[in-house]
Amino acid sequence: MTPLDDELCSLVQQWEPRLEMVCDQSLLPPVRYPADHHGDPAFTRTPEQEQRFAEIIAGADALYGIPGEDPAALGRAVESNAGLRWVHTMAAGGGALVKAAGLSAEQLERVTFTTSAGVHAGPLAEYALFGLLAGAKNLPRLQADAARHEWPHRWLMGQLREQTVLVVGLGGIGSEVARVLAALGTRVIGTSRRGEPVDGVAELVHPSELAAVVGRVDGIVVTLPGTAATQRLVSADVLAAVRPGTTLVNVGRGTVIDEDALVEALRDGRIGFAALDVFAAEPLDPTSPLWDLPNVVISPHNATLTPAEGRRIAELFAENATRLLDGKPLRNVVNTVEFY
């Protein structure tokens, strides 16, 4: 239901021969760039193609992706197919699309939804490391000096091995961030609602304690999905309590941070540097002050994309297909109460 090239389609069937994959490229929008799960919005199907597309959806046991990444299309797919058992979403945070589909309790019980969580842990951990290093080495100052062609007096740079970093969210992405940072010698504090130990994390705190702990850290990495429980969790009060010059990286969802409060914290130096891959509304509004702040690096929700992403998602789908056919629990099942 999402663009998938013939090579990956064939590989999925090789990995799990009991599957019958229907990959009709004429029914799928052409991709415009890597990992374009929506496809070209200008693409249209003929009435005959639309009928064929609907028939495929209505007869499928499982869907690889949400049609057009559109919640309304997901709702129609579930409604039209009483035998649909499983839908795999392309995003690590696919629960938000499932929630937006407005499915009934019966439909949420009948269909299992899974996400691509874990596929992106490595790339996002690298992005987090990039952001933390850029803050520790004061990238904005380096860029400003270079723009002026100025060779300044020598000044001190920070070292991650001498710093403490708070990882907000210790799921697959956060756990990998913690592992990488701990390997560098960074002291890692992590948030956890359950309090279960995580490798590389020296101290666990409850998410409700953010304001009490941020004054002790040099950097903050946000990895949480966007849910009702995480909405503006990094609030104005939390940002008011940070140590001046703190580095902030967000690779989770933009809604987790109070964006207006973040702008003020960047302006007055409480946040010395921010690397932001996600935003409360995307694409980021051209009028957003974040574009013009010298201590911000903006990437267009691009940090997950690597040449291997498509294959990794296909491998995860094939593994879960095997689990489904063998009657085993699937990986990355969406929590349909909190939708993460």
Question: What residues are annotated to the active site?
Answer: 253, 282, 301
Q: Count CB atoms within 10 A of the CB of residue 291.
A: 11
User: Which of 325, 331, 334 is closest to 312 using CA atoms?
Assistant: 331
Which residue is it, tokens 């069937």? 13
* Closest listed residue to residue 85, CA positions, set 287, 325, 306: 325
Relative to beta strand 219-222, strand 203-205 is unpaired
Q: Which of 247, 271, 251 is nearest to 260 (CA)?
A: 271
Taking CA atoms, 337 is separated from 102, 105, 108, 226, 227, in Å, by 12, 10, 10, 13, 10
Query: Of how many residues is the chain composed?
Result: 340
Two tokens at 279? 């935003």
Dump the DSSP string for 270-332: SEEEEEES--SSSSPPTT-GGGG-TTEEE--S-TT--TTHHHHHHHHHHHHHHHHHTTPPPSS
Please say whether the beta carbons of 28 and 90 come within 8 A: no
Determine contact, residues 76/102, Cβ cutoff 8 Å: no
Question: For 89, what's the count of Cα atoms within 13 Å in the CB-facing half-sphere?
Answer: 26
CA distance 200 to 90: 28
Distance CA 194, CA 176 (A): 18
Nearest to 222 by CA among 161, 279, 138: 279
